[in-house]
Chain A
């Protein structure tokens, strides 16, 4: 833009200066026209070198005067003029031309026509051509006086009444060109200076403008895994960046929370694995150091097998949790009868429950079916029953019932859990959470309800926990047809075909 503006400025100045030069040239031409008159058949050109010295012949011996002029910077421009008849015959030329001619165009227009030419002395010049009718002077005397040096007799072929002369005036344009060059140079220098200044200003402005972003960048660079609690300072950030800073801080908060969760999870996994690994190592080291007692070695092998199975269960559960979290676990939906599934899962718990004197009652109608992944629902129910058996107060009842609420089917499992508080309900689905802080149960790791929640989320089954009458722990699985993207919907026929309350199936151990 600046270059374009410079070019436009240069062009305008150029045109203006040339215009002024032309006006001056035209003025000289008009002056010559003014001193040209016709008296009868004589054309009188009253030219005086004193009044128009630029048209005078340069005297070779006038060197001193020339030098003085040069020293005083008063160099007189050399001018030329030539007056032609319409047929191109020269009737008068300036002394400066000597015997040379100026280029002529046979054009009778009275308008001044300008063009660039090469002067007789080889320099570049500017020329104006004007056609004019000389002023007519009345004859002074009847008697023809002899022609003086300013007078020219018209040829016989020329009609003096319709006489039109062609005046060509030229002058060198070296000073104009020098002036134009200096204007161009000044403009170029100014443009370059302006460009540099603008560049510097832009650079400084950008640098200043980016300073808050650099400050934010510095703050973000300092944030690492150990300093995730740090936030970008919103107060010192410009208003324009407030939205970005707020978004960044929100992102940092989510990352910090994610890191904390991952760290806790890793720490829990590490802690959960430390004890079985310690058992494994101690059994191996002691067994290897004193291999002389076959019975003890046999016990150690038994322990090692148990530890391996326990670790396998941890790894399998963690893998399942990871797949559920990542959404890579596959879901194969089919119609599953709830009552049969519950009974099948319970049968695996009969022996353990028997040792604690626990009784089980299922009130799920055999007609109730849900459309979901059978294997995963079985894992959910199995985990819930294992949890109930492990934490139930001995000699109590584990109750399983099915109820219809609006368009949902709620499968509820309830057991008597000692020492559980309402506060604990917020943590029961946390991974590795156990009410017993000593974590002394070697067959449970605090992952049972976590896997239940992960699988329920995967299958789109609602999950609620309640603590009634201070010790009755209830887990409710809620199956709904409108249950989001991974709904485990009930078939309509099934819902309609089931009577309220279902049928009571009592089992006791």
Chain B
């Protein structure tokens, strides 16, 4: 899952970037409003975390422009503005959620998880992939036959992306976008390595494997 965080505080960007990446998201971090709008326009994100008071362009203008150009990306406003009018204005302009600074990192993750699930119309955070494999998108835990499977953030992000798009073939490029930020130079072979590791950890091979390869197209979870 890929996030864009537009926030002018460098210190907050550092903390959020590290925390969200550790949680399993691919995160793009931008400190300027105008740059943030460009990132949002030319990339596909699952959720955009948007501050309101930004240099270059304020958050509400970014929001208005994105909605005007038809971008349906879920947007969570993260602002120090705590007045009800500010919240109402943000939500009326098309934001999907509003959080006031200071905030709990856990709560931010929970809200982001909700917006991601809403993106894929999956209300139940627990997804049963068959063969005894279950993915919980709220707790970011994977179980196989009742036992926890220890996945790296990148492996989990890959599995979650496939699980939320169950039945759809996802290309290597799309998977790469979901697990790495836009400035990453990683190539498609990284996806192959991660899929290989994932199959080893959640088990199954050949016809019994949860993650199947559609040769020439990508990967799919049936």
Shortest B10–chain A CB gap in Å is 8
Is the pair A303, B105 in contact by a Cβ cutoff of 8 Å? no
Contact B9 A274 (CB under 8 A): no
Chain A interface: which of B15-23, B64-72, B116-124, B211-219?
B15-23
Which residues of chain A are near B80, meaning CB under 8 Å?
271, 274-275, 278
Are A271 and B81 in touch, CB under 8 angstroms?
yes
User: Of the 9-residue stretches B96-104, B168-176, B181-189, which lies at the interface with chain A?
Assistant: B96-104
Q: Mark A405-440, 1 if CB is under 8 A from B, else 0.
A: 000000000000000000000000000000011111
Expressed in whole angstroms, the Cα–Cα distance for A440 and B52 within the complex equals 11
Q: Which of A153-197 contact B (CB under 8 A)?
A: none
* Pairwise interchain contact B12-A282, C-beta atoms closer than 8 A: yes
With A271-B80, A286-B18 as given contacts, are A307 and B105 in contact (CB-CB < 8 Å)? no
- A residues within 8 A CB of B55? 436, 438, 440
CA distance A462 to B206 in the complex (A): 85
In the complex, are the beta carbons of A289 and B11 less than 8 A apart? no
Q: Is the CB of A281 within 8 A of B105?
A: yes
Contact A283 B101 (CB under 8 A): no
Q: A286-B18, A307-B11 in contact; A437/B58 too (CB < 8 A)? A: yes
Partner of A438 from B15, B58, B105 at Cβ < 8 Å? B58
Measured in the bound complex, the distance between the Cα atoms of B140 and A462 in whole Å is 63
B101/A437 in contact, CB under 8 A = no
Q: A289-B105, A436-B55, A437-B53 are in contact. Are A303 and B15 (CB under 8 A)?
A: yes
Residue on A with the closest CB to B22? Answer: A290
- Cβ of B18: which chain A residues have Cβ within 8 Å of it? 286, 290, 293, 296
CA of A440 to CA of B51 in the docked complex: distance in angstroms? Answer: 11
Contact, CB under 8 Å: A440 / B54: yes
The answer to the question of B82 belonging to the interface, with a C-beta cut-off of 8 Å to chain A, is yes
CB-contacts of A330-377 with B (<8 A): none
> Taking A277-B101, A278-B80 as contacts, is the C-beta distance between A289 and B19 under 8 angstroms?
yes
CB neighbours of B9 from chain A (8 A): 275, 278-279, 440, 442
Chain B interface residue count: which class?
20 to 34
Q: Is A306 an interface residue (CB 8 A)?
A: yes
A contact patch SS: helix
B106 within 8 A of A: yes
Residue A299 interfacial (CB < 8 Å): yes
State the Cβ distance, B57 to closest chain A Cβ, in Å.
9
The listed residue (B14, B58, B100, B106) touching A303 by CB distance below 8 A is B14
Whether B8 is near chain A, meaning CB under 8 Å from some CB there, is yes
Q: State whether A274 touches B11 (Cβ < 8 A).
A: no
Answer whether residue A300 sits at the interface, using C-beta atoms and an 8 A cutoff: yes
A108 to B111, CA, bound (A): 128
Tell me, rounded to whole Å, the shortest Cβ–Cβ distance linking B218 to chain A.
Answer: 31
Nearest CB of chain A from residue B33's CB, rounded to whole Å:
8
A285 interface hit (Cβ, 8 Å): yes
- CB atoms of A278 and B19 under 8 A apart: no
Question: Do B104 and A274 touch (CB < 8 A)?
Answer: no
Contact of B15 among A274, A275, A286, A440 (CB under 8 A): A286
- Residues of the B chain whose Cβ atoms lie less than 8 Å from the Cβ of A437: 53, 58
CB-defined A-B contacts under 8 Å, sample of 20: A274-B82, A274-B101, A275-B9, A281-B104, A281-B105, A282-B12, A282-B105, A283-B15, A285-B19, A285-B104, A285-B106, A286-B19, A290-B18, A293-B18, A296-B18, A303-B11, A436-B55, A437-B58, A438-B58, A439-B53
New contact pairs (7) apart from A275-B101, A286-B22, A442-B11, CB-CB < 8 Å: A270-B82, A271-B80, A275-B80, A281-B102, A282-B15, A285-B15, A438-B58
